[in-house]
Structure 1
Amino acid sequence: MVSRSTLKASAAAAVITMVAAQGANADTLRLLTWGGYAPEAVIELFEKETGHTVEVTKSNNEEMIAKLRATGGGGFDLAQPSQDRIAGPQEEFGIYKPIDMSKIDTSQFITSMLDATKGNTMIGGDVYGVPHVWGTSGLVLDTNMAGAVKDYVDLCSDEFAGKVSYRLKRPTLIGFAFSMGMDPFAAYGDEDAYKEIMSKVEAKLIECKANVKAYWGGGDELMNLLRSGEVVASMAWDTGGWKLNSEKPEVTFVAPSSGALGWIDTFALPAKGKADDAAYAWINFVMRPDIAAMITDVAGNFTASKGADAMVSEELKVKYQKSFPPADVDNINWYPTVPAGLEAIEGAVLDRVKAAN
Structure 2
Amino acid sequence: MKIKIKLLAGTLSLLLAGIQTQAQAEDNVLRLYNWADYFAEDTIANFTKETGIRVIYDVMDGSETLEAKMMSGHSGYDLIFPGDTVAERLMRAGALQKLAPEKLEHLSEIEPGLQRLQAQYPHSRYATVPYTWGSIGITYNAAAINQRMPNAPVNSLDLLFKPEIAAKFADCGISMIDSPDEVMAIALHYLGRDPRSGKAQDLDAALALLKSIKPYIRKFQSQPVTQLVNGDICLSLGYSGDVIQAQRAADQAGKPVDFQYRIPFEGTSIWMDTMAIPVDARHPEYAYAFINFVMRPANMAAISNFTGYPTSSATARPLVAADLRNNPDIYVDDAVYARLFPGEDIPQRDMRARMRAWTTFKTARD
| Structure 1 length-normalised TM | 0.80
Query: Paired residue for 2:209?
Result: 204
- Counting only pairs closer than 5 Å after superposition, residues 178-257 of structure 1 correspond to structure 2 as 178-185=189-196, 187=197, 191-192=198-199, 195-217=200-222, 219=223, 222-246=224-248, 247=250, 248-257=256-265
Q: 1:339 to 1:308 in 2, by over 3 A?
A: same
Aligned to 1:120: 120
Identity of aligned residues (%): 23
Give structure 2 stretches of 5+ with no counterpart.
Answer: 1-20, 147-151, 251-255
In structure 1, runs of 5+ residues without a counterpart are 1-19
Cα deviation digits, residues 194-244 of structure 1 (max 9, x gap) = x43233212222232111111114x2xx22322233322111222211232
336-345 or 254-263: bigger deviation = 336-345
1:176 alignment partner AA: A
Tell me the secondary structure at the aligned position of residue 263 of structure 1: strand
When the two structures are aligned, how many residues end up with a matched partner?
Answer: 323
Alignment partner of 1:329 is 2:320: no
**How far apart are 1:295 and its partner, in Å?**
0.8
Is residue 2:269 matched to residue 1:261?
yes
2:291 to 274, 283, 287: 283
How far does residue 309 in structure 1 lie from its aligned partner after superposition? 0.8
Cα pair 1:121 1:129 within 8 Å, conserved: no
**d(CA) in 2 for partners of 1:126, 1:224:** 35
- Which of 173, 177, 191 in structure 2 is aligned with 1:167? 177
Task: Find the aligned partners of 1:54 and 1:339 in 2 and give their Cα distance.
Answer: 34
Residue 145 of structure 1: aligned partner: 144
- Corresponding letter in the other structure for 1:112: P
User: Is 2:351 the partner of 1:338?
Assistant: no
Is contact 1:117-1:131 (8 Å) kept? no
SS of residue in 2 equivalent to 1:31: strand
Q: What are the Cα deviations for residues 149-170 of structure 1, in whole angstroms up to 9, with x where unaligned?
A: 4333432432233521102312
| Counterpart check, 1:347 vs 2:358 | no
Deviation at 1:57, TM superposition (A): 1.8
Distance 1:107 1:271, change over 3 A: closer
Measure, in 2, the Cα distance between the counterparts of 1:79 and 1:215. 27
Post-superposition offset of 1:326: 4.8
User: Is 2:112 the counterpart of 1:102?
Assistant: no
Q: Which range moved further: 59-68 or 289-298?
A: 59-68
Distance 1:141 1:312 in 2: 23
Q: Distance between the aligned counterparts of 1:241 and 1:324, measured in 2?
A: 13
- CA separation of 1:153 and 1:126: change in aligned 2, threshold 3 A: closer
> Are positions 1:75 and 2:76 aligned together?
yes
Q: Give yes or no for the alignment of 1:62 onto 2:64.
A: yes
Q: Where do residues 3-18 of structure 1 align in structure 2 (5 Å cutoff)? A: none
Residues 285 and 113 of structure 1, relative CA distance in 2, 3 Å threshold: farther
Per-residue deviation, residues 57-97 of structure 1 (Å, max 9, x unmatched)? 2224233223333x336132211111122223443x54333
Greater shift, 160-169 or 301-310, is seen at: 160-169
Q: How far apart are the structure 1 equivalents of 2:331 and 2:257?
A: 17
Is 1:153–1:180's contact at 8 Å kept on the other side of the alignment? no
2:36 matched residue in structure 1: 35
**What is the SS of the residue equivalent to 1:225?**
helix
The 4+ residue runs of structure 1 with deviation greater than 4 A are 23-26, 322-328
1: CA distance, partners of 2:203 / 2:102: 41
Name the structure 2 match of 1:317. Answer: 325
2:303 is the counterpart of 1:295: yes
Report matched runs for 1:43-58 at 5 Å: 43-58=44-59
1:352 Cα shift? 2.1
Q: Counterpart of 1:12?
A: none
